[in-house]
Amino acid sequence: MLDAIESALGQTCAPDEVIVVESKSELMIPPKSLPAKVRLITSSSTLSPGASRNRGAEAASSEYLAFLDDDDLWDFQYLEFISSAILLASSRGNRPNLLHGDLVDEQGTSRRNPKFSSERAFFFLNPGITGSNLVVRREFFEGMGGFDVAIAPSEDRDFLARTYLAGVPFIYVREARAVIRAVSGERISNRFLRSALAFIFKYWRVTKPSEKVLAFGMIGYKFASAVKRTLRARVSPLGTRN
């Protein structure tokens, strides 16, 4: 988490405020170890990522909310490129409500999936937008009701789906890079399955038959990949089990 905080504080365009929401399930952060500019909000209960972001948004006072998960990082110019995109759009009379940067892995490879470049791609997968490269105008975020805490960890896709159905355009800022680290990119659990199914059925009436098939197919693919990684981790390089 401290790495994420440092990446936020080390921006060439300094954030107005940095708010850290600490859930009961996470390691406790000694408040004295945090820089003076960082505001720490603690919860006595376990919070989902969406609930944590909602809590932080409630406490924020800035016009725009830039989210960052605790195990990811921002490139040092992330907010500078986002701010430039906001100013450019605003100069043309269009104050943007939602922007997103590029999501890259630790090797610098983009996680934005060009095969599924359709604006409706989030109905069957996450095309490369998460809580770490999403920037939302606070007034719009509040009007949308924030993240749906009943759909976690698919709350990112759910917010995008609601935004799309409301007819609100996304602004993609390619130069603004958020780094997703391996630990956050390989999570798979029963909670993921429940969340993915809840998402599918929430938007059942507005998705196309092909999108439903792809959504179920992506669930199967993720679980098959997770099983493959698990089996590979249990076998040593010499072919013997650990």
Summarised one tens digit per residue, pLDDT across range 140-159 is: 999 999 999 888 888 999 99
pTM here? 0.85
Of 49, 68, 70, which is closest to residue 177 (Cα–Cα)? 68
Quote the strand ranges of the chain, DSSP E: 18-22, 38-42, 64-66, 73-74, 98-104, 134-137, 171-179
Q: What are phi and psi of 91, to 5 degrees?
A: -65, -20
Note whether 177 and 104 are within 8 A (CB).
Answer: yes
Structure tokens belonging to residue 46? 């376990």
Predicted confidence at residue 31, as pLDDT, reads 62
185 band by pLDDT with thresholds 50, 70 and 90: very low
Measured CA to CA, the distance from residue 118 to residue 112 in angstroms comes to 12
Query: 127-142 pLDDT, tens per residue?
Result: 888 889 999 999 999 9
Measured CA to CA, the distance from residue 129 to residue 103 in angstroms comes to 7
Tell me: pLDDT of 19 over 80.
Answer: yes
Predicted confidence at residue 25, as pLDDT, reads 58
Measured CA to CA, the distance from residue 141 to residue 17 in angstroms comes to 17
Quote the strand ranges of 105-150, DSSP E: 134-137
Measured CA to CA, the distance from residue 69 to residue 17 in angstroms comes to 16
Predicted confidence at residue 23, as pLDDT, reads 76
- Determine whether domain 2-186 maps to CATH 3.90.550.10: yes
Residue-range domain boundaries for the chain: 2-186
Q: Which residues does 46 contact at the CB level (< 8 Å), separation at least 6?
A: 23, 24, 25
Structure tokens belonging to residue 19? 């708010």
Amino acid letter, 130? T
Provide the 10 A C-beta neighbour count for residue 233: 9
111 band by pLDDT with thresholds 50, 70 and 90: confident
